[in-house]
Amino acid sequence: MKLFSEILTKARSYRGDQYYPVIVITQIVIIVQALLLEDVLITAEVALASQIRDFVFMVTGGVYLLLNWSLFSRLVHNSFWSYTILLILVIELTMITLLLNPFAPLLSTDSDRQPYLMGMHVVLFMVEIGFIVFCIYDIFSQGTAVTDKLWGAACVYLMIGISFGSLYDIICIWKPSSLGKYFSLGIASYTECIAYSMTVISGIDAPHENPNDLIKNISIMEAIWSNLFVMILVGRLLGLPSQENK
């Protein structure tokens, strides 16, 4: 327990600018995995391609959530909320390991996993929104260097895409085939939802997807929000005093 406490204390002592580049790199890895990993493995004729994709994605996702918690803990300066969010994430990761383990899942059918996945993704989406709010507060606060603001902005922008992917997956869990095609509930559905979300914020059409009206309308909101964030960020950076730019 003493070693665990020392690790948490050290993690909370880092500055936000030390986390943002690492989180951005992890986000890029997650997005690349969602877009390409399974297709690359299938093209390379690797056995158990989907299982390997699921395992790698779960490990990377776990690292990503813990990095976000470390940044959140540094920003809030409140032990109660820090440890509460950590407990939530530990429970989330434990349930993910039990339910979505590609080699020995606790529940093998989508109907059995559906209520648990719904609860997990709702909690995950709420936690991700909280991370976004605190990161935005950090990068728009005074005294933050321009370079750190840019890394933080990249982090928030990609976090928007990933978090909306969670929201789309909630809809797909609630009503399968909401993206126009049925995907197995779990990592397969989640990666497709992240891929669709990234097409939305990048302004690229996804011709292979035919989502229902609810996802279409939410994707319009996501596109507006992500572009509005970029516009506000550019205006904020252009309006920085010369002293802060230095």
Domain assignment of residue 34, yes or no: yes
| Number of structural domains in the chain | 1
Domain assignment of residue 3, yes or no: no
Task: Output the pTM of the full model.
Answer: 0.85
pLDDT (tens digit per residue) in 16-58: 457 889 999 999 999 999 888 888 888 888 888 888 898 999 9
Cα 72 to chain centroid, rounded: 14
Domain assignment of residue 144, yes or no: yes
Residue with tokens 């097409």: 199
Radius of gyration of the chain measured on its C-alpha atoms: 19
Domain assignment of residue 128, yes or no: yes
> How many CB atoms neighbour CB 177 within 10 A?
12
At residue 208, the pLDDT reads 54
Residues 187 and 53 sit within 8 Å (Cβ to Cβ): yes
**179: alpha, beta or left? (left if phi > 0; alpha if psi -120 to 50):** alpha
At residue 144, the pLDDT reads 63
* Residues 6 or more apart in contact with residue 66 via CB below 8 angstroms: 89
Q: Which domain holds residue 192?
A: 16-77+85-240
Q: How many residues does the chain have?
A: 246
Angle subtended by helix axes 16-32 and 49-76, to nearest 10: 160
Nearest to 68 by CA among 82, 78, 53: 82
Angle subtended by helix axes 2-13 and 79-100, to nearest 10: 110
- The SS3 call for residue 145 is coil
Domain assignment of residue 2, yes or no: no
pLDDT (tens digit per residue) in 182-225: 888 888 899 999 999 998 898 776 655 688 889 989 999 999 98
Domain assignment of residue 4, yes or no: no
Domain assignment of residue 223, yes or no: yes
Pick 92 or 102 by higher pLDDT: 92
DSSP 213-228: HHHHHHHHHHHHHHHH
Residue with tokens 């840019």: 150
Residue 4, CB-side half-sphere exposure with 13 Å CA sphere: 3
